[in-house]
Amino acid sequence: MPDVHDLAAGWRSGTGRSQLVALGVLMGLVAASFAVSSTAYTLVPLSTYFVWVLLGMLLLRFRPLVVLTVWTVSAAVAAVLLDGGFDTVRTSGCVALVLASTLVLYQSSLQRSGLPGPLGEAMLSDLRDRLQSQGTVPPLPEGWRCQTAMVAAHGVGYAGDFMVADLSEDEHHLELILVDVCGKGVAAGTAALQFAGALGGLIGALPPRAMLAAANDFLLRQESDETFATAAHVYVDLRTGCYSVLSAGHPPALRWTAGEGEWTVDNARGMALGILRRPDLEASEGVLGPGDALLFYTDGVVESRDVGLDEGIAWLRRAAASAVAPGFEGAARRILRQVERGDDDRAVLLLDRS
């Protein structure tokens, strides 16, 4: 006989058997409530039956929920009749129960995943966590450090900004790509999840230009005419510090040179992905020495309704200089904390060589 853990795991998977078990338990609880109501109505009044409908909404798919709802409303009406029938208060309570049950069924019918709300949310959150793990940079060789900081618009958990990282098996080469999908917050979240999965399979498997070309083709194949994204890609030889940057419509990267003590604007330029079949991409190259760094960011960091791109980049150069003054450790978070709260997703990626 399966234990509680097996039943919980089955329910999380949405199997038919787990739904039958959950339905049976809830119907049993409704029957127990009716048994108490029929003998001591004041202990389990009409309002109690709302609880079982709400629990059903959380635990059951649509068809089992219909069965539970009919069972619960019938039990509630029968309990009222056995206790002396309807008066004004009880009639109002029954009408409210029927209306609430109808709203619950309507909401359940809108679940396109076919799963109860909590299960659908758990599935989406699990997918988000799996794809976001692709942006976790593995431990780098001594002397290298990578930091990220991201904030979704309006504080929601899904954003159009994401990062994908790949470190070669010999730990000699590092690839990072920071992406900003068209849209904000939840509106861009689903497209970002899909695109992150595609990039996760491309990075490290193709050369940088070929990878961005494949990513561009992927976006062009999408049904929406508004599916496009900007991206900044960096490829670093961790033995020598040599790097190359490709920018696809992304705000220009900034480079920190230890000798100069200031951030300079990188000259990599290009067109956003998902617009033309073969977008032009101009790369930049350089060498990161000890104390040098590269800073990548999304437009939500430097642009707003009142601030243009050039003005925002000038501000970021000053803000980033003050953020790294005490050292590079934690600088990405310090930079993002200086950005005024806005209605766009914000992300910062900082790679430095100590």
In terms of average pLDDT, the best of 58-67, 215-224, 280-289 is: 280-289
Phi, psi of 60 (to 5 degrees): -115, 150
**243: exposed, middle or buried (C-beta count within 10 Å: 0-12, 13-18, 19+)?**
buried
- In the chain the first and final C-alpha atoms are separated, in Å, by 58
* Least reliable range by pLDDT among 132-136, 182-186, 302-306, 321-325: 182-186
Over residues 137-193, the pLDDT tens digits come to: 889 999 999 999 888 776 655 567 889 999 999 999 999 999 998 865 555 667 777
pLDDT score for 223: 72
Calculate ∠ Cα 93-95-100, nearest 5°: 95
Predicted TM-score of the model (pTM): 0.73
**206: exposed, middle or buried (C-beta count within 10 Å: 0-12, 13-18, 19+)?**
middle
User: What residue spans define the domains of the chain?
Assistant: 4-115, 134-353
Residue 341: both structure tokens together: 């709260």
Which position has the higher pLDDT, 346 or 124? 346
pLDDT score for 84: 82
Q: What is the DSSP letter of 139?
A: P
pLDDT score for 8: 54
- Round to whole Å and give the CA distance between 323 and 263: 11
**CATH for the 134-353 domain, from 3.30.450.20, 3.60.40.10, 3.90.1150.10, 3.40.800.20:** 3.60.40.10
Over residues 219-272, the pLDDT tens digits come to: 998 877 667 899 999 999 999 999 999 999 999 999 999 888 899 999 999 999
* Least reliable range by pLDDT among 33-47, 114-128, 293-307: 114-128
- Does the pLDDT value for residue 6 go beyond 70? no
Give me the mean pLDDT over the 122-139 stretch.
70
- Round to whole Å and give the CA distance between 251 and 270: 10
Q: Which stretches of 133-270 are DSSP H helices?
A: 185-202, 208-220
**141: exposed, middle or buried (C-beta count within 10 Å: 0-12, 13-18, 19+)?**
exposed
Share of the chain above pLDDT 90, in %: 55
Written as one letter, the residue type at 35 is: A
User: 304: Cβ–Cβ under 8 A, 6 or more apart, which residues?
Assistant: 312, 340, 342, 344
Calculate ∠ Cα 328-137-221, nearest 5°: 120
Share of the chain above pLDDT 70, in %: 84
